[in-house]
Amino acid sequence: MDVRATDTSCLNWAGDILALGLFEDGVELTGDLATLDGKLAGTLKELMAEAEFKGKEGSSALARVGGGSAIRKVLLVGLGKPDSLKLESLRRAAALSMRQAKKEKGKTLAIQFPVWNSQPEATVQAIAEGAELAAYQDTRFKSESEDKNSQLEQIEILGVGDQSAAIQRARQICSGVILARELVAAPPNVVTSLTMAETAEAIAQEHGLEIEILEQEDCEKLGMGAFLGVARASDIPPKFIHITYKPNGTPRRKVAIVGKGLTFDSGGLNIKGAGSGIEMMKTDMGGAAATLGAAKAIAQIKPDVEVHFISAATENMISGRALRPGDVLTASNGKTIEVNNTDAEGRLTLADALVFTEKLGVDAIVDLATLTGACVVALGDDIAGLWSSDDTLAAELLNAAESAGEKLWQMPMEEKYFDGLKSMIADMKNTGPRPGGSITAALFLKQFVKETPWAHLDVAGPVWADKENGYNSAGATGYGVRTLVNWVVA
Please, which residues have CB within 8 angstroms of residue 156's CB and are 6 or more apart in sequence? 4, 5, 6, 8, 13, 15, 108, 109, 110, 111
Burial class (CB within 10 angstroms; exposed 0-12, middle 13-18, buried 19+) of 303: middle
Residue 99 in contact with residue 41, Cβ under 8 Å? Answer: no
Residue 404 in contact with residue 487, Cβ under 8 Å? Answer: no
> Residue 30 carries which DSSP code?
-
> Residue 469 carries which DSSP code?
B
Residue 131 in contact with residue 3, Cβ under 8 Å? Answer: yes
d(C-alpha 284, C-alpha 195), whole Å: 15
Residue 20 in contact with residue 112, Cβ under 8 Å? Answer: yes
Residue 159 in contact with residue 112, Cβ under 8 Å? Answer: yes
Residue 368 in contact with residue 283, Cβ under 8 Å? Answer: no
**CB environment 8-23: b (16+ within 10 A), e (fewer):** bebeebebbbbbbbbb
The catalytic residue positions are 272, 347
**CB environment 93-128: b (16+ within 10 A), e (fewer):** bbbbbbbbbbebebebbbbbbeebeeebbbbbbbbb
> Residue 243 carries which DSSP code?
E
Burial class (CB within 10 angstroms; exposed 0-12, middle 13-18, buried 19+) of 469: middle
In three state form, how does the secondary structure of 94-138 look?
HHHHHHHHHHCCCCEEEEECCCHHHCHHHHHHHHHHHHHHHHCCC
d(C-alpha 307, C-alpha 365), whole Å: 10
Half-sphere exposure in the Cβ direction for 158 (13 Å, CA): 21
Distances (CA, A) of 361 to 204, 305, 348, 396, 452: 22, 14, 22, 20, 8
